[in-house]
Structure 1
Amino acid sequence: MAAPQRIVIVGGGLAGAGAAAALREGGYPGEVLLFGADAHRPYELPALSKGLLIGDAEEPDWVRDQNFYAEHDVTLHLGTRVTRIEMGARLVLDAAGGEHRYDRLLLATGSKPRSLPVRGADLTGIHTLRTLDDALALRAAFAKSDRVVIIGSGWIGSEAAAAARKHGAEVTVVGMESTPLESVLGTEIGGVFHDLHTEQGVRWRLRSSVADFVGDEGAVTGVRLTDGSVLEADVVLLAVGAAPETGLAHAAGLDLSEDGGVCVDAYLRTASPDIYAAGDVASQFHPKYERRLRVEHWANAKNQGEHVAKNMLGEHEPYQRAPYFFSDQYDTNTGPGIGCEYRGLANLETDRLVVRGSLREREFIAFWLSPQGTITAAMNVNVWDSSDALQHLVNDRVSVTSDEQLVSGDLGSLT
């Protein structure tokens, strides 16, 4: 395969910008064009639901400083939406009518917040959270709101609930699960987060769903649940998940997977040998799990972006990192907040939970073990001295013969 003279990257988030930076830092001398629909230079997403939304930060974490792109000859097309890919001609077309040839193309289009197809969803005061502008608008709304209703009890919903409470608003979280984060952590660990938020004044309407939104003069005033009850609200946040941005890929004829992402192999390459995908949009055949994974977390976008840059230049290394994410909710320095890291991928239907430490005191490590005793995932909560050991346990898929090895043993000795 001939060395590429021009690489086009569609997507101005962490995966795309990280790939552009890795290309230059790896010595690639050809042209690099980066297209982003957002008008802001590439930034990372975690701060949007954490420090920036709370008010502890005024800017997101930028992928690179403002001068990096010009100094490294990366051509930025910000606020520019790519509308079509012509694979036969190796062209991408943008909304302004521009045509851009590529030798290699990276799709890093990310994902977009899901909406609710119910009456009143277009009322003002109903927000989603995906972009820097979304976060700034939501922060301003929290600051002047008396009553906030958050639809969704996952990570974004939980972090946003903590932020809204920090701004002094009354907060109610509506979720279809029996406890927050149940689908990721199970009921026992999810219950730790439930209790934390309850202590901080959050109200819950769990095992509930939305019938419609109530409004007055075009602005939201409440959320009607399917049981007929109405929750008063000045501000509503929809935190009901995200959908991968696959419109370009689908229109071009690239294969999509059952999880909604763009199908890529272990090397992050699509069936079209000159087109790759990374980040939220990529459904990768993962060698360690021997199935497709589509991961919507910060570390996956960062690591896949850096990894795919090398493969686009001719290396042939599979991407094998285990999923990783982190969350901070309330004050994690002086208490009573939670800071946590999760590594791996548990199967809650079959895996067994083992806890080291105290759930009550919110200082513990949770392990998930397969029926064969293999550690499939580990999560440290307000415990920071075992991060490296946990990473090795998950990466190496270590097996244990007794729970006691995890509950009170030397974790370093297991690696």
Structure 2
Amino acid sequence: MKQIYLDYNASTPVAPEVVEEMKPFLTDFYGNPSALHWAGSPVKEKLMFARKQVANLLSCSPEEVIFTSGGSEANNLALKGYFFKNQHKGRHIITSKIEHPAILNPLKFLERLGAEITMVDVDQYGMVSPEDIENSIREDTILITIMHSNNEVGTIQPIDEIEKIARKYDIAFHTDASQSAGKVPLEVDQMNVDMLTIAGHKLYAPKGIGALYLRKGIKVEPLIHGAGHEFGLRAGTENTLLAVGLGKACELAQEYVYDTKLEELTNYFWEQLRDAFGSGVVLNGHEKRRLPNTLNVSFINRVGQDILAAIPLLAASTGSACHSGKVELSPVLREMGVPEHIGMGAIRFSLGRYTAKEDIDQVVTWLKDQI
């Protein structure tokens, strides 16, 4: 019996097309892209093309794409970089209580340097209220950072409404779109955000590569100082191998962001679970406004980790933490107000490009045997 992978939100496989695109950069294209000779020039061209591929996915100019080592570094560059460069304007930053640690922990660090952080609540669906954002704005607010979609429950935030609030008060707006890239459209010219984060290993590129969209005119302080790589914002010889991989992945993603097949398969999965378990299974997150591949469900009065442990051929996640033998409720579900007897039974199933209907049927069969 085969293993089944339903943890695409944690990390995607590297697409075969991406692997093929990267292979020459392990053998033939070894020059430094900053070098002006025959070995460096073609590498620079490939790097520029990869940057254009990322820009095409985001509907921005290539000069607004900064390659990073992943989503965490991109978030750190956005938050720390903007604070360091603009703290003379104010020190207040607004975020939500369910952000990824790659947002919350940099903000905790900035608090030690004098930043003041307001974390707004979310509703029972994991949705931020734009009104709460606006009510939190102060004269010294310089930045709003709200994730595009939640990594655990898949709820997509009202970015368009928050953006209008940010523009109204002339406040910079950053969104961590690591989970959204390649799943839903991310056209920054329409979203009108100032900074946006993507992570390669969430959209079929390798781990260790990501990018920050930085709108022209937005100033940030580099985190890594040295030579003038990445438009002077990230020193160090560029990792062309991984940048080419991310570029190809972004090119492929344009074929999938408007495809409904994955959403249909996710909805089919939810229908099968409701047929099998009735009122014993509930959906966590928004029923409609969520990522097309994400299904976070709770099996009432059960422990999600115990269920997964009993199905070793299934890869999925819970979001809960286990310390000293005691399982703790996911912080995201806790902030959503999910009762413990429901939240402890949560499992996040995240589907992907290579998930088949037969996989879903097999997983439902396994779950019936355990619950």
Q: What is the TM-score when the length of structure 1 is the normalising length? A: 0.29
Higher helix proportion: 2
Higher strand proportion: 1
Q: What is the TM-score when the length of structure 2 is the normalising length? A: 0.31
- Indicate the structure whose relative CO is greater, using CA pairs within 8 Å and at least 6 residues apart: 2
Larger radius of gyration: 1
